[in-house]
């Protein structure tokens, strides 16, 4: 998610929708698997001939918690409290020193989870103190493309190959912001570099773990800076190398002097229109949450669950950022918000 100092740039919405006229990449609709379609890396592209119908899926719900990986006992407690099954567990993993030995115990714990995993894999060192998160030129996209991290990528992918369940792999997420070292407007990066880095990472991973991974392309709901050279769709690598689309966004409410209360529709509508025009791949909300400062969080949750069903039919999974961090994003931050969620989630997940 964006840092608090940059998030003020998003409260007014995404602005006008830019329609992609870029013909560099074929628009192969994702879905029913067809063999014999090769992507530009030479791998078989598993894509549908037709998009999913709006009522052919079961809505999935997932959460992210700071304490990860979550144990099954912890998940069971959350499920009882929230009144719903947790279908997807969201986790984040930084590359840090790019030493696979640092990852092994974490991966072993994760491998035993009885849930699908949304893994956000971040090429950076976790920043400390007042360090600016994006100020890590060692992780500029050109260095990834040049192969500096290939050994680490291969080693990590080999560990993923033994996972018993689906891994939704979200790499280089929120690339249309300016708060990570891989973002397209920092460290000399560009949208073209992003696409090349995406292809490079994907090719290496797929050679080691070709059948476990669903590739998730995940911009932020609003591009920042909002300029013609930082358009969300210019980062799209193509349907043939993407399995899922994701959008991240938050209602910061009045928690900051620069922020204002926004509905789910205010936050996500423009990005959703852009993505649905860009690709036929299924869509998830990769990160979402609301503060309770400046409005009724319970009412926000109730409305969000309703409008996803009525106005966002391509969304098939929602991941709640269930953390007290920049704001108290937790579903259970108050009795009102928890009850609103418990009341709305049952009908929400019946969407089929």
Distance CA 85, CA 229 (A): 41
Say if residue 93's pLDDT is above 60. yes
In a domain, 17, yes or no: no
For residues 9-30, give the mean pLDDT. Answer: 33
Residue 2 lies in a domain: no
Range with the poorest average pLDDT among 13-27, 37-51, 136-150, 201-215: 13-27
Under a CB-based contact definition with an 8 Å cutoff, are residues 133 and 142 in contact? Answer: no
| Cα separations in angstroms, 104 against 111, 213, 308 | 10, 18, 38
Is 139 exposed, middle or buried (CB count within 10 Å of its CB: 0-12, 13-18, 19+)? buried
pLDDT digits (tens, 9 = 90+) for 40-74: 544 444 443 344 444 556 899 999 998 878 888 99
Residue 16 lies in a domain: no
Give the pLDDT confidence score for residue 180 in this predicted structure: 96
Query: Is 324 or 36 the better-scoring residue by pLDDT?
Result: 324
> By C-alpha distance, which of 306, 316, 309, 312 is closest to 283?
316
Asked, for residue 168, whether it belongs to a domain, the answer is yes
Q: What percent of the chain has pLDDT above 90?
A: 69
Instruction: Name the residue with higher pLDDT: 167 or 12.
Output: 167
Rounded to a whole number, what is the largest CA-CA distance in the chain? 54
Q: For residue 249, what is the domain's CATH number?
A: 3.20.20.80
**Residue 350, Cβ density class (10 Å: 0-12 exposed, 13-18 middle, ≥19 buried):** exposed
Distance (Å, rounded) from C-alpha 125 to C-alpha 138?
10
Closest CA to 243 of 203, 215, 201: 215
Tokens at residue 182, please? 């891989």
Does residue 143 lie within any of the structural domains? yes
Dump pLDDT digits (tens) for 221-235.
999 999 999 999 999
Collapsing DSSP to helix, strand or coil, 103 comes out as coil
Q: CA–CA separation, 50 vs 281, rounded Å?
A: 10
Residue 20 has pLDDT above 70, yes or no: no
Work out the average pLDDT over 318-337. 96
pLDDT attached to residue 223 = 97
Reported as half-sphere exposure (CB side, CA atoms, 13 A), residue 93 has a value of 25
Task: Name 24's Cβ contacts closer than 8 Å, sequence gap at least 6.
Answer: none
SS3 110: helix
> pLDDT tens digits for 150-194?
999 999 999 999 998 889 999 999 999 999 999 999 999 999 999
Residue 109 pLDDT > 60, yes or no?
A: yes
Q: Which token pair is 207? A: 């050679």
Domains of the chain: total: 1
Range among 9-18, 77-86, 253-262 with highest mean pLDDT value: 77-86
Kindly indicate the confidence band of residue 114, based on its pLDDT and cuts at 50, 70 and 90.
confident
Reply yes or no on whether the pLDDT at 320 is more than 60: yes
3-class secondary structure per residue, 329-346: CCHHHCHHHHHHHHHHHH
Question: What's the chain's average pLDDT?
Answer: 85
Q: Which residues of 161-178 are buried (b: 16+ CB within 10 A; e: fewer)?
A: eebeebbbbbbbbbbbbb
C-alpha span between 93 and 121 (Å, rounded): 5
Q: Would residue 14 count as lying in a domain?
A: no
More confident residue, 18 or 122: 122
DSSP 170: E
Give me 137's structure tokens: 């030129």
> What SS3 class is residue 228?
helix
- Confirm whether 12 is domain-assigned: no
> Given a cut of 50, is residue 32 above it in pLDDT?
no
Return the structure tokens found at 28: 């192969």
Is 167 within a domain? Answer: yes
Q: Tokens 């590359």 correspond to what residue?
A: 95
**Host domain of residue 173:** 25-51+59-349
Most confident of 19-23, 145-149, 258-262: 145-149
Tokens of 161: 């190959």
What does the block give as tokens for 80? 């009882």
């Amino acid at each position: 998610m964006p840092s608090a100092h940059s998030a003020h740039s998003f409260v007014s919405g995404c602005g006008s929708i830019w329609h992609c006229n870029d013909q560099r990449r074929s628009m192969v609709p994702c879905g029913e698997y067809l063999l014999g379609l090769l992507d530009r890396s030479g791998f078989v592209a598993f894509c549908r001939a037709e998009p999913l119908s709006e009522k052919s899926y079961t809505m999935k719900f997932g959460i992210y918690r700071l304490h990860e990986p979550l144990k099954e006992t912890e998940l069971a407690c959350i499920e009882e409290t929230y009144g719903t099954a947790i279908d997807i567990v969201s986790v984040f993993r930084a590359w840090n020193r790019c030493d696979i030995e640092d990852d092994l115990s974490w991966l072993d714990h994760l491998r035993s989870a009885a849930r699908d995993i949304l893994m956000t894999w971040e090429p950076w060192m976790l920043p400390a103190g007042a360090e600016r998160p994006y100020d890590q030129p060692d992780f500029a996209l050109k260095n990834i493309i040049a192969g500096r991290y290939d050994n680490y990528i291969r080693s990590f992918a080999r560990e993923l190959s033994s996972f018993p369940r689906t891994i939704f792999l979200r790499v280089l997420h929120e690339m249309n912001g300016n708060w990570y070292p891989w973002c397209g407007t920092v460290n000399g990066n560009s949208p073209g570099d992003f696409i090349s880095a995406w292809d490079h990472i994907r090719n290496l991973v797929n050679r080691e773990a070709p059948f476990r991974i669903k590739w998730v392309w995940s911009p932020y709901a609003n591009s920042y800076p909002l300029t013609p050279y930082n358009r969300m769709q210019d980062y799209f690598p193509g349907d043939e190398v993407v399995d899922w689309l994701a959008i991240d966004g938050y209602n910061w409410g009045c928690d900051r002097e620069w922020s204002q209360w926004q509905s789910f529709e205010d936050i996500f509508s423009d990005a959703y229109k852009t993505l649905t025009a860009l690709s036929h791949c299924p869509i998830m909300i990769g990160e979402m949450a609301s503060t309770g400062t400046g409005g009724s969080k319970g009412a926000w949750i109730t409305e969000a669950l309703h409008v996803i069903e009525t106005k966002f039919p391509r969304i098939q999974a929602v991941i709640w950022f269930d953390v007290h961090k920049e704001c108290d994003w937790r579903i259970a931050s108050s009795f009102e918000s928890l009850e609103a969620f418990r009341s709305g989630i049952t009908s929400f997940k019946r969407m089929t």
